[in-house]
Amino acid sequence: MSCSDILDLNPTDQISSGTFWKTKADADLALSGVYSKLRLDVISAGGGGGTTCHWDGLTDNVYCTYPWEGGYTDLATNITPSSGGVMQSLYYGAYQGIAVANDFVANVDEIQDASFDAATKAKYIAEATFIRVYWYYWLTQCYQDVPYTDKPLTIETMKMPVTKRPI
């Protein structure tokens, strides 16, 4: 007996890619998801991280001595996303923000809702694109040359080379 007639591949209790990107409300929800990534503690001061004086720990202006500040001082001597703490949080958080923005830009054109006019769609795309640029700003400030993508990643495209900045 085959179950192709009774098997529903889209979950009924949550949003899925098969049922999303249909209405302006979907675009609003997705854009909120892009903005929500901006709450990364190391840059937004949420949870006590990311304040200006902590980032000064990267310079000779300040020495961060408290345990929760150590990651900022560590960055000045050991710039690597795999060292954990602040730098790992920034690196992975930025790429999560970039991934969400890329997904938004790639899929928002699928919405054919009459209430979602071209001007609003263009504004939403510009906002998501700006947030993606914001994340790349943070990555290049801390790491200089980083992998760059403006498209959603797949299993085949996950390994990306570092993009060299022009001098």
CATH number at residue 139: 1.25.40.390
Rounded to two decimals, the pTM is 0.78
pLDDT in tens, the chain (167 residues): 556 656 656 667 777 777 889 999 999 999 999 999 998 877 766 555 556 666 676 666 666 666 666 566 555 555 555 555 667 778 889 999 999 999 999 999 999 998 999 999 999 999 999 999 999 999 988 888 899 999 998 888 778 778 776 65
Residue-range definition of the domain harbouring residue 49: 24-163
Residue 18 lies in a domain: no
Residue 139 lies in a domain: yes
Residue 1 lies in a domain: no
Residue 13 lies in a domain: no
113's CB contacts (< 8 A; 6+ apart) are 22, 23, 24
Residue 14 lies in a domain: no
- Work out how many domains the chain is built from and give that number: 1
Residue the block writes with tokens 């510009």? 126
Residue 88 lies in a domain: yes
